[in-house]
């Protein structure tokens, strides 16, 4: 049994840790409420972008447009979203597992891969890998990102795809479903596939486009990719706060249980010391009276 001094130190240390985890839980809960509002707005904009692109894609044959054209995949680009720090449960590891799986599959098919990372955790992981090119790294975005934050990534994607530096672009992020459920997933950004849009059953009306339907669709397609990127970033930020809040709550609860266990052990140790002292006193008295 540990001494009372050691037990008191452990209890004090755990109490200090519990104060930190409780504070982090409250901060994450506050950030989660704000981030969830942006996530909802992002989802609405993303869904409207898909609906508009589906409408336009039914007007003409879009397969001849560069961003819709499917070509032989020789090089793939992955955009991976993680955080700058840990203490968020399996938030970072889930996305990194998906990236590792896809990289292994591409390597088996002799497809070269390039990676753009958002968040220091992904950058640290990819730097340790061999056979994969890390072309850009970005720190995790703030709680309220804007279009200008993702514009450099968007420009890299569009220009690289048109110049055939890579033949396929995928985004790996964490989708926010609820406070207790988040899903790490991979979605294809380029080439844009017509079958990824769901029909709303509406008949497309006749429109006149200036300067041309192709240029309009290409501009909308660019905005769609931007919407997907922004949606992935916002969803990941929301998921990070949710998973960190839950992780810190679990850590706080575990700390409380440990304090109770160590307190019980401390009381038992104190009782043992008192019992021993009483026994020694009683023995001394009997020895004097003998």
Q: What is the pLDDT along the chain (290 residues), one digit of tens a residue?
A: 568 888 899 999 999 999 999 999 999 999 998 888 878 777 777 777 777 767 766 665 666 777 877 788 999 999 999 999 888 989 999 999 999 999 999 999 999 999 999 999 999 999 998 888 999 999 988 888 888 889 999 999 999 998 999 999 999 999 999 888 999 999 988 888 766 655 545 545 555 666 766 777 788 788 888 888 998 999 999 999 999 999 999 999 999 999 999 999 888 888 877 887 777 777 777 777 76
3-state SS string for the chain = CCCHHHHHHHHHHHHHHHHHHHHHHHHHHHHHHHHHHHHHHHHHHHHHHHHHHHHHHCCCCHHHCCCCCCCCCCEEEEEEECCCCCCCCCHHHHHHHHHHHHHHHHHHCCCEEEEEEECHHHHHHHHCCCCCEEEEEECCCCCCCCHHHHHHHHHHHHHHHHCCCCCEEEEEEEEEEECCEEEEEEEEEECCCHHHCCCCCCCCCCCCCCCCHHHHHHHHHHHHHHHHHHHHHHHHHHHHHHHHHHHHHHHHHHHHHHHHHHHHHHHHHHHHHHHHHHHHHHHHHHHHHC
Question: What is the model's pTM?
Answer: 0.84
Q: Where are the domains of the chain?
A: 26-245
From the options 3.90.78.10, 3.40.50.300, 3.40.1380.10, 3.40.50.2300, give the CATH code of 26-245.
3.40.1380.10
């Amino acid at each position: 049994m540990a001494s009372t001094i050691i037990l008191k130190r452990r209890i004090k240390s755990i109490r200090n840790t519990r104060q930190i985890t409780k504070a982090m839980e409250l901060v994450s809960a506050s950030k989660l409420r704000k981030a969830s509002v942006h996530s909802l707005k992002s989802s609405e904009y993303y869904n409207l972008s898909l609906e508009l692109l589906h409408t336009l894609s039914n007007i003409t044959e879009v397969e001849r447009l560069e961003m819709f054209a499917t070509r032989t995949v020789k090089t793939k680009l992955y955009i991976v979203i993680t955080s700058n720090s840990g203490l968020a449960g399996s938030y970072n590891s889930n996305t990194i597992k998906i990236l590792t799986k896809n990289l292994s599959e591409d390597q088996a098919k002799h497809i070269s891969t390039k990676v753009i990372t958002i968040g220091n955790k992904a950058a640290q992981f990819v730097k340790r890998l061999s056979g994969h090119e890390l072309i850009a790294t970005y720190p995790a975005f703030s709680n309220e990102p804007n279009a200008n934050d993702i514009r450099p990534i968007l420009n890299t994607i569009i220009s690289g795809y048109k110049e055939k530096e890579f033949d396929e672009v995928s985004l790996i992020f964490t989708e926010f479903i609820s406070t207790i459920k988040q899903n790490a997933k991979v979605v294809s950004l380029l080439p844009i596939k017509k079958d990824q849009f769901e029909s709303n059953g509406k008949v497309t009306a006749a429109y006149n486009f200036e300067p041309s339907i192709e240029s309009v669709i290409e501009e909308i397609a660019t905005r769609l990719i931007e919407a997907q990127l922004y949606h992935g970033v916002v969803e990941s930020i929301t998921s990070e706060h949710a998973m960190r809040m839950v992780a810190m709550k679990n850590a706080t609860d575990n700390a409380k249980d440990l304090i109770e266990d160590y307190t019980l052990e401390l009381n038992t140790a104190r009782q043992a010391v008192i019992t021993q002292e009483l026994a020694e006193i009683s023995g001394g008295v009997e020895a004097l009276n003998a």
